[in-house]
Amino acid sequence: MNLTREHWTQADYNDFIKYLKTLADSKYKEFSDSLVPGIEHSFGIRIPILRDTAKKISKGNYNEFLACKKGVYREEIMLEGLVMTLIKCDYPQMLEYIKVFADKITSWETCDVVSFKGLKKHLDEFFSDIEYFIYHENPWVVRFGFGCLLEFYLTDEYIDRVLEYVDSINSDFYYVQMMQGWLIATAVAKCRDKAIKFLQYNNLNATTQNMAVRKIRESNRISKEDKDLVIQFKK
């Protein structure tokens, strides 16, 4: 199927769904579904194929593609997000794309596969808007926000405020807790002293704190000495 199209109609998109079904891998679907519990609708398409598909779509009339009514398959949401990440645009438009995508997230896979790397050129601007995500009522949007902090902001310039944001969210949603733990563990690898001090003094619940300790001890980027040190911070 031609994916780099001058025009997309709803009929074209419906044909596209039929095409996606031909890309499905039944064994991968079984494996992927086991990792993403509670998500009923999936084709079972490997991520590299989705990325390649999005790249081809983005070279055509991506606006009409994005405007087509989407269905319930999680690959549709990932493709929509992946296409958005490839669009060259100014920051306000990028932020709008990010908000639209984030509100459609329903699984950790969808959240983590899509990365808006164009944010590297707009770090200060997006950081001033991060509270929209961190304090959102949808916990998947919160996870996405912390994922952005993990990916782009674990530097000396931002680390203090990043850890303040982590400390300000005491979520009981497992996938937010997991992302916070992952963020803290990565911070130990990148901004060691401040992250270790944060582990000593914070307001996190026991599940999130212990998740961070576990991920630190599983990391290949952290010394054995620090892995042994953080055991004392378990709650």
Give the tens place of pLDDT for each residue, 167-221: 999 999 999 999 999 999 999 999 999 999 999 999 999 999 999 999 999 999 9
Treating both helix axes as pointing N-terminal to C-terminal, what angle do 74-85 and 47-58 enclose, rounded to 10 degrees? 50
pLDDT digits (tens, 9 = 90+) for 102-114: 999 989 999 999 9
For the chain, the domains span: 1-120, 122-235
Does residue 49 carry a pLDDT above 80? yes
* Residue whose tokens read 């912390």: 146
The predicted-structure confidence for 127-180, as pLDDT tens digits, reads as follows 999 999 999 999 999 999 999 999 999 999 999 999 999 999 999 999 999 999
Q: Which tens digits make up the pLDDT trace of 1-40?
A: 999 999 999 999 999 999 999 999 999 888 888 888 766 7
**CB 179, CB 147: distance < 8 Å:** yes
Q: Say if CB 10 and CB 69 are below 8 A apart.
A: yes
According to the model, what pLDDT value does residue 97 have? 98
Q: What is the pLDDT of residue 120?
A: 97
